[in-house]
């Protein structure tokens, strides 16, 4: 969830994954980092010039204050405008993430472990379109 991004502290990053407790559900998650995220975090950590304090937020403003949700939303809106994607809100990123996991064949349990969704109904809602596309492609292959 975008609301959780601003809560990440350097102590939540172990060099391979991020640990968090979701704000909305209070659910604990350990999320393996993609190679791109790991590289970005390692660069940011190196740029600090010292071992970061575990409680220091990862996302900081230029003035040294932590990034708030509102500030993050403004940054993301600016970037969506730059890319011509204003119609897609921050929640759409999570939706698309679930779809990507479904497109790669993840089970509902695997998606829940990564997305933090509490109910199968929400996973089915988000992953449904992706799974329909996959099944249609599989059916088309069988027709050949």
Confidence at residue 13, expressed as pLDDT on a 0 to 100 scale: 96
**Domain range enclosing 106:** 89-144
Are 97 and 124 within one domain?
A: yes
Structural domains counted in the chain: 2
Is the pTM value of this prediction over 0.75?
no
Are 5 and 24 within one domain?
A: yes
Are 75 and 106 within one domain?
A: no
Which of 63, 86, 109 is the last residue before a domain boundary?
86
Are 8 and 61 within one domain?
A: yes
Are 4 and 21 within one domain?
A: yes
Are 67 and 104 within one domain?
A: no
Are 76 and 94 within one domain?
A: no
Are 67 and 138 within one domain?
A: no
CA 87 – CA 52 distance, rounded (Å):
37
Are 69 and 134 within one domain?
A: no
- The vertex-128 CA angle with 29 and 33, nearest 5°, equals 30
Are 113 and 98 within one domain?
A: yes
Q: In sequence order, what are the beta bridge partners of 29?
A: 20
Number of C-alpha atoms within 13 angstroms, CB side, residue 68?
A: 4
- 10-residue stretch averages of pLDDT, the chain, 144 residues long: 85 94 84 94 92 92 90 89 86 84 90 85 87 90 90
Confidence at residue 44, expressed as pLDDT on a 0 to 100 scale: 93
Confidence at residue 9, expressed as pLDDT on a 0 to 100 scale: 94
Confidence at residue 38, expressed as pLDDT on a 0 to 100 scale: 96
Task: Tell the burial category of 91 from Cβ atoms under 10 Å away from its Cβ (0-12, 13-18, 19+).
Answer: exposed
């Amino acid at each position: 969830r975008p609301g959780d991004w601003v809560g990440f502290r350097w102590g939540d990053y172990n060099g391979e994954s991020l640990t968090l407790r979701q704000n909305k559900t209070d659910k604990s998650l350990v999320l393996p980092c993609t190679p791109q995220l790991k590289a970005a975090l390692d660069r940011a950590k190196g740029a600090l010039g010292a071992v970061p304090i575990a409680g220091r937020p990862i996302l900081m403003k230029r003035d040294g204050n932590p990034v708030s949700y509102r500030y993050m939303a403004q940054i993301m809106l600016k970037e969506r405008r730059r890319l011509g994607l204003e119609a897609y809100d921050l929640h759409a990123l999570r939706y698309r993430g679930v779809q990507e996991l479904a497109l790669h064949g993840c089970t509902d349990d695997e998606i829940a472990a990564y997305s933090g969704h509490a109910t199968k109904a929400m996973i089915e809602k988000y992953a449904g379109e992706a799974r329909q596309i996959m099944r249609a492609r599989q059916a088309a292959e069988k027709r050949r």
